[in-house]
Amino acid sequence: MYIIFEGIDGAGKSTQIEIIKKWLEDNGLEVETLVEPTDSEIGVLIRKILKRPDAATDRMQKVLGLLFAADRMLIMDKLEDDKKIFLSDRSFISSLAYQEPQDWIGSLNKYVKKPDLVLLLDVDIKNSALRFSGEDEFENKEFLTKVRDNYLDIIKEFNHEIINANNGINKVSSDVKKAIASKVGLCRDCIE
C-alpha cells in the first residue's frame, strides 16, 4: 500500500504523517514513512541546490527535475514490500506540480510506482505563508498559487482525496484517517 501526502510547503504533511503512522501502528499495522527528497547523496545535493539563489531559474528547475527523478528511483525497490503501508511525504506528483514541462517530467518518472491513494493537504496560500518559516526566495505566493493549481489538476488522474488543511491539526488528522481507513481495513465510522 503506497499512500502519498502532497501539498504546498506549510500544508502540514510531516505532522500528519507522524500522527497517521502512530494511529496505524496502534492498530497493529506495519508502517514505513518515506520523505522526498530522500537522505541519499542525490537528496543531499538537491537540498543544496534548492538553497542556491538561482534555484528558481528555468535551467535549475530542469536540473532539479532530473535529480528528483534519480533520487526517487533509489527508493522504488522498497515499495515492492506488500506487507507494509508506506506513507510518503511527497512523490513524483511534487515534480509534476513544481517542475516543468509536465510531459517531460511525466516521461522521466514513467517507471515510478503509482500510488494507491493520494492525499492532497490543501491549504490557502495565505496560511501556507504564515506557517512557512523558511526564507527561500522562490517560496513566493505567485509560484505557490501555480503549484496549488497544478496539484488540483494532476491528482484527478489518481485515486485521491482533497483534505482541507486550513483546519486545526486534529480535524485534519481525523479527515485523513477517514480517507485512509477503508483502504487499510479499519473502521471508518469509528473515527471521531
Determine the residue with CB nearest ligand TYD. 98
Report the C-alpha gap between 96 and 61 in whole angstroms: 12
Report the C-alpha gap between 86 and 82 in whole angstroms: 9
- For residues 12 to 51, the per-residue mask of contacts with ligand TYD, x marking binding by CB under 6 A and - elsewhere, is ------------------------xx------------x-
State the nearest-atom distance from the C-beta of 191 to ligand TYD, in Å: 26
- For residues 95 to 114, the per-residue mask of contacts with ligand TYD, x marking binding by CB under 6 A and - elsewhere, is x--xx---------------
Q: How far is CA 57 from CA 68, 100, 150, in A?
A: 16, 11, 18
Report the C-alpha gap between 34 and 57 in whole angstroms: 28
* Gap between the terminal Cα atoms of the chain: 24
Nearer to ligand TYD, 37 or 115 (CB): 37
State the nearest-atom distance from the C-beta of 95 to ligand TYD, in Å: 3
Q: Is 68 near ligand TYD (CB under 6 A)?
A: yes
Binding-site member from 23, 90, 148, 165 for ligand TYD (CB under 6 A): 90
Report the C-alpha gap between 139 and 8 in whole angstroms: 10
Nearer to ligand TYD, 31 or 96 (CB): 96
Report the C-alpha gap between 133 and 170 in whole angstroms: 21
Strand duo 2-6 + 31-35: pairing:
unpaired
Nearer to ligand TYD, 11 or 181 (CB): 11
Query: Residue length, the chain?
Result: 192
Nearer to ligand TYD, 14 or 27 (CB): 14
Binding footprint of ligand TYD on the chain (CB under 6 A): 9, 36-37, 50, 68, 90, 94-95, 98-99, 134
